[in-house]
Amino acid sequence: MTPDLFSGLSDQPTVEAFDEGVVVLRRQAVKHQQALMRDIEKVTRQAPFRHMKTPGGHQMSAAMTCCGPLGWVTDETGYRYQPQDPLSGLLWPAMPESFLSLARTAAQEAGFPGFDPDACLINRYQPGAKMGLHQDKDEKDFAWPIVSVSLGLPIVFQFGGLKRSDRPARILLEHGDVVVWGGPARLRYHGVLTLKAGEHPVTGSARYNLTFRKAG
């Protein structure tokens, strides 16, 4: 019997190679948690969290917003990146410096120097929220990695293969953990299981996820 949950052992920052092109940076964002939370609040004052609709007509259980030059949106017509927030018609809020420096540093530490993201999705998971297995494939080219930052309540991340039918590994993601995937792993399916209720000293009853991409 082998363990089926890849989880951090320590509260100290560590770098763990998971698979080719996949690195888990444990607790990497903890030292910036105050700035990150302040900047999430700042972004969401301009571009509030909302539950987007998928092309199939269903609502996503995670509330989302974006910052940076491009934002990811979904509606009945499909998925795309666009410069404007469809809710306001205005440009997405600027990407906070705290976000950018974390994303660049994490990418570099994971072996992807020179990462310059132009899009950051901010997802808010409340108890019951989840996200099914999917690929990030709406970006123009796949040369750059995805950088995913977890804040607040823990959740089980599913990291699959290049085919939906590949059985996903389970990785417990906790506050401050950063996952970076690129190269041969760039199009691997991923998602999260349902968030369980809990209380976190920094985020309360929620988990926030910042996902950085080079979309355009």
Partner DNA sequence: AAGTATCC
Partner DNA sequence: ACAT
Q: How far is the CB of 107 from DNA (least distance, A)?
A: 18
Q: How far is the CB of 34 from DNA (least distance, A)?
A: 27
Q: Which CB, 118 or 136, lies closer to DNA?
A: 136
Q: Which CB, 32 or 169, lies closer to DNA?
A: 169
Are 82 and 73 spatial neighbours (Cβ–Cβ below 8 Å)? yes
Q: Position of tokens 């410096």?
A: 97
Q: How far is the CB of 124 from DNA (least distance, A)?
A: 13
Q: How far is the CB of 54 from DNA (least distance, A)?
A: 4
Q: Which residues of 99-116 are buried (b: 16+ CB within 10 A; e: fewer)?
A: bbebbbbbbebbebeebe
Dist CA 187 CA 181 (whole Å): 9
Q: Which CB, 132 or 198, lies closer to DNA?
A: 132
Q: How far is the CB of 132 from DNA (least distance, A)?
A: 2
Q: Which CB, 56 or 113, lies closer to DNA?
A: 56
Task: For residue 104, give the H/E element and its range.
Answer: helix 97-109
Q: Which CB, 8 or 68, lies closer to DNA?
A: 68
Site residues (CB under 7 A) for DNA? Answer: 54-62, 72, 74, 76, 79, 121, 130-136, 138, 191
